[in-house]
Structure 1
Amino acid sequence: MAAHTPTTTRSYYFPALGSYNTLTLQTTPLPPLKSTYVLVKVHAVSLQFRDVMIASNKYPRGGISENLVPCSDMAGEVVAVGSDVTRWKVGDRVCANFATEHWDGDVNDDIVKTALGGGQHGVLTEYKAFTALCLVKIPDHLSFEEASTLPCAALTAYNALMGPKPVKAGDTVLVLGTGGVSIFGLQFAVASGANVIATSSSDDKLEVAKKLGATHTINYNTTPNWDKEVLRLTEGRGVDHILEVGGPGTLEKSLASVRYAGYIHIIGSVSKNTPTLTSVIGQCTGKAIILRGILVGSVAQFESMNRLLRARPEPTRPVVDKVFSFEEAVAAYAYLESQKHVGKVVIRVSPVSE
């Protein structure tokens, strides 16, 4: 154990769900550290669209803890280790996996219940104890703010592109929008030698996508039939992989955009358009399309992803749009909800100098 282990922590929680404006600060005692656990000082937390859905009580999966401490993604520093822990030492820089018991292989119902900021209390707190098995070492070249974006957005994109049929050089990848998952998907695809087509409603955001290596960009406001433009850009073949974050509002066009036997990775449902899903089954069978649901990833995948980050540090450097202070947590939620961001929105819980 460390000599000056903290005994309390300040954290945000929801007294009731319905709006992120009800986020409330509390100070609670830290229980004695279990022998197989590690106490981490949280330096930075990144927000997901999931966090806004949970706050609004619109999360489809349910099973949310009462008086929830929100958020799933953190980066911090080990300040104490349990008596049976040999893998970690005080001072190590770590992230926790999204689902704390998803170590390797497929998910199951019990693993899903260990998702931080949902089935169990999350990481919008100054200190949190984690099981030693759910932690991964942060790549040395990343700041805490950058590393806080890895557990959900980055790993979701990595799991999509490096799954049963990994992206390879010369493939074409379509990313929808410029949120956290899409930007990481763009970066990982470029780092792997693939061509990327990126969509957005904003030309300014598409300029950022170009700077990150997108081969082609499409403004879906000025080109509403973007699926036809995707087919034109790929000479009628279609794309190999699609990171489908839009959901009902974009899936039909994704089905039209993907190549025969291509992969559509179902990740989210941020599109505000009205769904008109009339021919999903016909399109899937007619083109032998693989629809694959993505539920973040495992500790083993996280460590594999970090090897990619270390091997290609600059092309894969996390894109942090804006950093808010711990006291500005509500404003951070509002900014994420506005969808003005490119990449990730981060809350700095405690400066590194503290």
Structure 2
Amino acid sequence: MSSVTSTLALPQRQNALVVAGPGQLSLHQDTPLPPMAPDMALVRTVAVAINPVDAKMLDYSPAVGSIHGYDFAGVLVALGSDGPTHLSIGDRVAGAVHGNNSLEPRVGAFSQYVGATAELLLKIPDSMSFEEASTLGIGLATAGLALFRELEIPVSIEALIDRPEPEKDATPNAAFVLVSGGSTATGTRAIQLLKLAGLRPIATCSPANFALVLGFGAEKAFDYRSPDCAKEIRAYTRNGLKYALDCVSESDSAQLCYGYNEVQ
């Protein structure tokens, strides 16, 4: 059994929302706490976020008897023996876990205590609320994997650590990156990462969200409903769009992303 550090008296059981069937959750008031592996941390939940994956996985792939939920934020109350040294009991943290998981049925965000891989937890700055931090997990992880591993943008994620927010716009020869669905949770995080990386993020969204994406760092916003959207993007980038990230991931949005990048 691994050594676990905690300065708090922890309960043996907790309240949790457990998968009861397709599209169905049930409140259980006697669910055991998740087991602690050496690389895990236990977090007392303060806030959770709702993702499309919460609904889609519950509808189409329910793991009956498993705790549901992915994104969370809370207070670190226990740390496994192999946990990272930058974390301490009492830290305010946020992260994501794979809820609705038949292989780990006692791990899920919709519970009073969440068992998470300690290395993947994010320490919450004092200026950020638990509610705000709870929205980071899936969106930030998705944006990071998509940009740095799949698209392989010309900046490493390690290079962004401790990099200050840029005080001026990207250089004119920096690569354009389209974030389709820029006002989504993943989209806004992708825009911030791209801006920090010194690239030129542009975004599609509804006009009602133009101010939102521009505030997060998009250089230009385009109305995805406009029949001239692709033409406007090609004109703005002078047919120089280098990358496209589809944060909507439906057939129409994928087709539009290809259309934006067609040279006319």
Structure 1-normalised TM-score? Answer: 0.58
2:135 corresponds to: 149
Structure 2 counterpart of 1:27, one-letter code: Q
2:53 corresponds to: 50
The structure 2 residue matched to 1:165, chosen from 152, 164, 167, is: 152
CA displacement at 1:235 relative to structure 2: 1.1
Matched, 1:190 2:195: yes
Aligned to 1:6, the other structure's residue is in SS state coil
1:112 corresponds to: none
Matched, 1:243 2:245: yes
CA contact under 8 A between 1:173 and 1:196: conserved in structure 2? Answer: yes
Structure 2-normalised TM-score? Answer: 0.75
1:38 corresponds to: 41
**Given the superposition, is the C-alpha separation of residues 190 and 26 from structure 1 closer, same or farther in structure 2, using an over 3 Å criterion?**
same
- 1:206-245 deviation digits (Å, cap 9, x = unpaired): 1211222222211122x134222211111122x2221113
The structure 1 residue matched to 2:255, chosen from 252, 255, 258, is: 252
Looking at structure 2, the residues matched to 167 and 55 of structure 1 have their Cα atoms a distance apart, in angstroms, of: 37
RCO higher in structure (CA 8 A, sep ≥6): 1
CA contact under 8 A between 1:161 and 1:167: conserved in structure 2? Answer: no
CA displacement at 1:3 relative to structure 2: 4.0
Looking at structure 2, the residues matched to 197 and 185 of structure 1 have their Cα atoms a distance apart, in angstroms, of: 11
Structure 2 counterpart of 1:210, one-letter code: L
The structure 2 residue matched to 1:13, chosen from 15, 18, 23, is: 18
Aligned to 1:250, the other structure's residue is in SS state helix
CA contact under 8 A between 1:33 and 1:82: conserved in structure 2? Answer: no
Looking at structure 1, the residues matched to 199 and 254 of structure 2 have their Cα atoms a distance apart, in angstroms, of: 22
Structure 2: any 5+ residue segments left out of the alignment?
1-5, 156-169
Matched, 1:130 2:116: yes
1:67 corresponds to: 65
CA contact under 8 A between 1:138 and 1:147: conserved in structure 2? Answer: no
Looking at structure 2, the residues matched to 69 and 35 of structure 1 have their Cα atoms a distance apart, in angstroms, of: 18
Aligned to 1:12, the other structure's residue is in SS state strand
Matched, 1:205 2:203: no
CA displacement at 1:91 relative to structure 2: 0.8
Looking at structure 1, the residues matched to 193 and 135 of structure 2 have their Cα atoms a distance apart, in angstroms, of: 14
2:125 corresponds to: 140
CA RMSD of aligned residues (A): 2.7
The structure 1 residue matched to 2:235, chosen from 232, 248, 260, is: 232
CA displacement at 1:82 relative to structure 2: 4.8
CA contact under 8 A between 2:34 and 2:115: conserved in structure 1? Answer: no
Structure 1: any 5+ residue segments left out of the alignment?
99-114, 261-354
**Given the superposition, is the C-alpha separation of residues 155 and 84 from structure 1 closer, same or farther in structure 2, using an over 3 Å criterion?**
closer
Looking at structure 1, the residues matched to 207 and 8 of structure 2 have their Cα atoms a distance apart, in angstroms, of: 53
Looking at structure 2, the residues matched to 140 and 23 of structure 1 have their Cα atoms a distance apart, in angstroms, of: 33
CA displacement at 1:84 relative to structure 2: 6.8
2:164 corresponds to: none
CA contact under 8 A between 2:8 and 2:77: conserved in structure 1? Answer: no
Residue correspondences, number: 232
2:91 corresponds to: 92
Identity %: 25
Looking at structure 1, the residues matched to 154 and 21 of structure 2 have their Cα atoms a distance apart, in angstroms, of: 42
CA displacement at 1:123 relative to structure 2: 0.8
